[in-house]
Structure 1
Amino acid sequence: MAELVTKRYAKALFDVAEEKNTLEAFEQEAIKISEILKKNIGFIQILGHPNIIQEEKIKLVEEAFDGNASNELVGLLVLLVKKNRENYMIEILDEFVNMAKVAQGFLQATVTSAIPLQQEQLSKIKSNIENNTSKKIELNAVVDESIIGGMIIQVGDKVIDGSIKGKMQALKSELNNLRLA
């Protein structure tokens, strides 16, 4: 259900942004607000506290973001408070940003490696993905020592697992299937 709520509100904001031709401006505001909320997670906890009346929560949101964000984004945040969906604020804003990037021709990609990759390596990976997808890529690098070595590349909903851990799991699965045959 959380994913449905997130997508519904993000899509509504996306539709408003497209209608008003302010997609890039809304995207930048959403990024800024999301970063602020992530750094101040206590703010969302206050908004979700059952002992604080709704009018006070709305007043907090308006004071925090009025003048720093468009009326539409502040209105969305107020609506989320009114509907008791304040815990979804960050996810909704992040989903909206993803929708905006896709609409602008960007594709999210993540490369996971056991050790930090150098900028030159990341540039080559990004370039290869862009050549294969004909899209502009926004590449995120993640370090996960548990994959032992190699890398995992995720582009949209496609995953290429070239990690040692992934290969070991595939080998284990094959050996288990051999025993059953």
Structure 2
Amino acid sequence: MSELTTVARPYARAAFELAVENNNIKAWSEMLSFAAEVVTNPTVEVILSSTKTAQELADLLINICDDKLDKRGQNLINLMAENGRLSVLPRVVELYADLVTEHNQEIDVIVVSAYALAKKQKEELSRSLEKRLARKVNLNCSIDKSLISGMVITAGDLVIDSTASGQLNRLSDTLQS
């Protein structure tokens, strides 16, 4: 996964910088997402792994995407095909989305709790996290009954574990030290 990230990052960054420069972040997001969907189609995956030339692969993908790609999007596809990187388009989309989120001063926060959170709890949690992280927070909540109580909050590299099992593990570690 890290190798894919290393390969995909320059393409995502270039697309993002171009999108910001031309004030069309959403259009680039749509173009990249559509092209990535095409690339992950099983039939297209087989064609991409064939012995076709880079230009033939680029032309094929551009023809399939048709009017979903503007000239700059087509240039990106041509460049990625020339470098044999069309298969990393899905990772480019993910990295591009991360750059957009960062640009918008937003952060996606994953909250896994033992029970469903009430609307008021979500609002309070969101306010608290926005204050702590100094960004707009997008909560993504899910339930895991095996947690028994509490929740695990993940925001980028930050992990807050207030579950019963997490507290017991920390207590055990402290006692063993």
Superposition TM-score, scaled by structure 2 size? 0.77
- Match of 1:17? 19
Q: How does 1:29-178 map to 2 (within 5 A)?
A: 29-31=31-33, 33-34=35-36, 36=37, 40-42=40-42, 45-46=45-46, 48-177=48-177
Cα 1:66–1:115 change in 2 (3 A) is farther
Secondary structure of residue in 1 paired with 2:68: coil
Instruction: Tell me by how many angstroms 1:157 deviates.
Output: 2.2
Query: How far did 1:99 drift?
Result: 0.6
CA distance in 1, matches of 2:10, 2:23: 20
Distance 1:54 1:155, change over 3 A: same
Give the alignment's Cα RMSD to 1 decimal: 2.9
Question: How far apart, CA to CA, are the structure 1 residues paired with 2:138 and 2:34?
Answer: 17
Paired amino acid for 2:65: F
* Pair 143,71 (structure 1): closer, same or farther in 2 beyond 3 Å: farther
AA aligned to 1:97 is A
| Structure 2: distance between partners of 1:165 and 1:110 | 18
Give the percent of matched residue pairs that are identical in Structure 1 and Structure 2: 22
Residue 125 of structure 2 aligns to which amino acid in structure 1? Answer: I
The change in CA–CA distance for 1:67 and 1:120 in structure 2 (over 3 A counts) is farther
Q: How far off its partner does 1:46 sit?
A: 2.7
> Conserved in 1, the CA contact under 8 Å of 2:34 and 2:65?
no
In the alignment, what sits opposite 1:27?
Answer: 29
Match of 2:8 in 1: 6
d(CA) in 2 for partners of 1:163, 1:17:
41
Q: Deviations over 1:8-53 (max 9, x none)?
A: 221111111122222233234445555x359x55256335424555
SS where residue 66 of structure 1 aligns? helix
Amino acid at match of 2:62: E
Q: 2:85 & 2:172 partners in 1: Cα distance?
A: 43
Counterpart of 2:29, as a letter, is E
Per-residue CA shift, 1:95-136, capped at 9, x if unaligned?
Answer: 111111211222222212244445554333223222333322
- C-alpha change, 1:160 and 1:64, in structure 2 (3 Å) is same
After superposition, give the CA deviation of every residue in 1:40-91 in whole Å (9 maximum; x if it has no partner).
5525633542455544432331122231133323432343233222332111
Structure 1: give runs of 5+ residues left out of the alignment. none
Equivalent pairs, count: 175
Using structure 1 for the length normalisation, give the TM-score. 0.76
Note if contact 1:10-1:92 (Cα within 8 Å) is conserved in structure 2.
yes
Partner Cα separation in structure 1 for residue 79 and residue 65 of structure 2:
14
